[in-house]
Amino acid sequence: MASTSKKAIMGGPVQRQLVKLQDMAKTLEASEDIQTQIQICIENVTAQEEYCDTISSPPSEAIQNLITETKKHPWQKTMDEGKVMGRVGPGMMSGALEGTFLKTLVGMSNAKRILEVGLFTGCGALAMAEALPADAKVITCELEEYVADVARKLVDQSPHGRKIDIMIGPAAESLQKLAEEGQKFDMVFVDANKDGYIDYYKIIMDNDMLTARGTILIDNALNRGQAYLPKEKLVISETWGKYSHAIRDFNDYVYNDNRVSQVMVPIRDGVMMIRRKEAFEGEA
C-alpha cells in the first residue's frame, strides 16, 4: 500500500484515482479482464505526456546533462546532512518538455530580461537563457545556497550559463531588492513555494516590475488537481496537501485582478500565462 500511495501522489488526479482503483481491484480479486482494462486506462493517461515528450524537439545536450546529473545527485544524503532546510529532489525540475516550452516562449517574445522565482538546479533558467541574445539576462532566485551552488556548476557547463545571475535567499527579499532598484522584466517565471505565489505576484505587479508587453508564467497552476478538485476528492498525502488551498487562492486572486488577463495552459501541471490587459488587448 505504501508504494501505491507514492505512485498515486506523483500523477494527475485521474491517474491517482486509477492507481487507487487498480489496488482495490487486486485486493478484491476482481476479474483479470477488469484489472487489464484498468491498466490500459492508466497507460492511456500516461501515453499523451510521453508522446508530447518524444514528438517535441529534444533539449540541448547541456540541459539533458543537467537533468541527468540532477537525477543522480544524492538529495536524500543532502537532506540528512542538513545542507538544505527543506525537502529537495528531481521532481522539482521544470523538465525537458516544459523547458522546451519556456525556450519557445522566450524566443517568440524577443525578451531580453527574464526574472525567475525558484531556480532549483537550473533546468528552466538554462532553457530560457538558450533563447536569449548574448547581451540578455536571466535573474533567478534560489532560497538554498547549497542548491544554488549545484545549479551554478551545472549551468556553467553551457556557454549560455553566463547569461544567468543567481540571487540567494528568501525570494520575497530578493524581489523587494530588485523592485527598489527599479528593475523591469519582459518575462517572469514563478516556480517556487506555492504559498508564496500571491506575495511574489503582488511585489512584481505593485512595483511595476513587468514591462508593458511582458508576460508572467506561473508553474504548477493546476497543482495536481488541487486548484479545481474539492478536498474530499484529492488522493494526496496530508503533508503534500498542507497548502492545498494556496494555488486555488492564487488563481482566484489573479482572476479578480482587473489589471491583467490570463489563460491557463494545461501543459504538465499547468502553466498560467498572465499579461497586462493593455498588452492582451493589443493596446500596449
pLDDT tens-digit profile of 11-23?
A: 688 888 889 899 9
166-200 burial code (b ≥16 CB/10 A, e <16): bbbeebbebbeebbeeeebbbbbbbbbbbebbeeb
The segment(s) of the chain belonging to CATH 3.40.50.150 are 61-280
How far is C-alpha 276 from the chain's CA centre?
A: 22
27 burial via Cβ count (<10 Å: 0-12, 13-18, 19+) = exposed
- For 163, the grid coordinates are 547569461
Per-residue confidence at 7, pLDDT binned at 50, 70, 90?
very low
Provide the angle, in degrees to the nearest 10, between the axes of the packed helices 145-155 and 61-72.
140
The Cβ of residue 8 has, within 10 Å, a number of other Cβ atoms equal to: 20
Arch. (CATH architecture) of 61-280? 3-Layer(aba) Sandwich (3.40)
- For 117, the grid coordinates are 522565482
- For 250, the grid coordinates are 492564487
Asked if 277 contacts 260 with a C-beta cutoff of 8 angstroms, the reply is yes
The residue to which cell 530578493 is assigned: 174
- For 54, the grid coordinates are 518524444
Asked if 135 contacts 113 with a C-beta cutoff of 8 angstroms, the reply is no
Q: Out of 96-110, 190-204, 214-228, 236-250, which region has the weakest mean confidence (pLDDT)?
A: 236-250
Per-residue confidence at 237, pLDDT binned at 50, 70, 90?
low
7 burial via Cβ count (<10 Å: 0-12, 13-18, 19+) = middle
Mean pLDDT, rounded, of the chain: 91
